[in-house]
């Protein structure tokens, strides 16, 4: 059992969980559940779907904990499972329009802009810029080479920039207008 002031040791916790220590797996769940939910919500754009992805991700991880390779970080492996589950879920649900809503740390405007991205672009952006994974770890989580991750990330950032700039472009009256800039 870890004490309140001791640092989290992911490798040790995974090892304990592999040896049947359910408390150690619960520590992993508690450590990563908010990140997995946030990632799933960015991909699915739905709280309900993100909750389902969260549950399925941890069930899958628990069931296949012995499949985790020793050189792979648990957190990256877990995000890979979550991304796959979120994409599977997107295939299972019909595309629906939702009112924009704020994520854990994201403004409603960024949520709206992210909703305009393709799911893979949202996943890359969420893993790299929100979860702050490295390009290499993002690629590993998505089964993409680092160069592809970089290219998708660039496209996602450019598209987000364009979407967000449109929200702040003043019209001829000087009032910010949602959408395109009016030209004279």
Q: What is the pLDDT of residues 54-63, one digit of tens each?
A: 999 999 999 8
Predicted confidence at residue 115, as pLDDT, reads 86
Q: Which of 141, 143, 138, 36 minimizes the C-alpha distance to 80?
A: 141
Cα distance between residue 34 and residue 70, in whole Å: 24
Q: What is the mean pLDDT of the chain?
A: 80
What does the pLDDT read at residue 168? 62
Distance in angstroms between the alpha carbons of the first and the last residue of the chain:
67
Confidence of residue 21 (pLDDT cuts 50, 70, 90): very high
pLDDT in tens, 113-147: 888 899 999 999 999 988 889 999 999 999 999 99
- Percentage with pLDDT > 90 across the chain: 52
Q: Answer yes or no: CATH 1.10.1740.10 is held by domain 10-168.
A: yes
- Mention every residue, 6+ apart, whose C-beta is less than 8 A from residue 108: 100, 101, 102
- On whether the CB atoms of residues 127 and 39 are closer than 8 A, the answer is yes
pLDDT over 60 (residue 2): no
CA gap 177, 171 in Å, rounded = 6
Token pair for 67: 């499949």
The domain spans of the chain are 10-168
């Amino acid at each position: 059992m870890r004490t309140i002031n001791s640092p989290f040791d992911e490798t040790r916790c995974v090892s304990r969980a592999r040896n049947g220590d359910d408390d150690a797996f619960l520590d992993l769940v508690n450590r990563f559940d908010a990140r997995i939910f946030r990632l799933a919500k960015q991909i699915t754009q739905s709280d309900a779907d993100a909750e389902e992805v969260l549950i399925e991700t941890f069930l899958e991880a628990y069931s296949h904990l012995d499949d985790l390779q020793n050189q792979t970080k648990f957190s990256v492996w877990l995000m890979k499972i979550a991304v796959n589950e979120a994409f599977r879920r997107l295939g299972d649900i019909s595309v629906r329009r939702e009112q924009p809503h704020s994520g854990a740390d994201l403004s409603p405007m960024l949520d709206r802009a992210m909703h305009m991205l393709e799911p893979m672009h949202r996943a890359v952006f969420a893993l790299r810029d929100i979860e702050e994974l490295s390009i290499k770890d993002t690629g590993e989580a998505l089964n993409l080479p680092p160069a592809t991750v970089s290219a998708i990330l660039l496209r996602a950032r450019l598209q987000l920039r364009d979407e967000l700039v449109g929200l702040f472009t003043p019209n001829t009256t000087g009032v910010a207008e949602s959408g395109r800039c009016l030209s004279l």
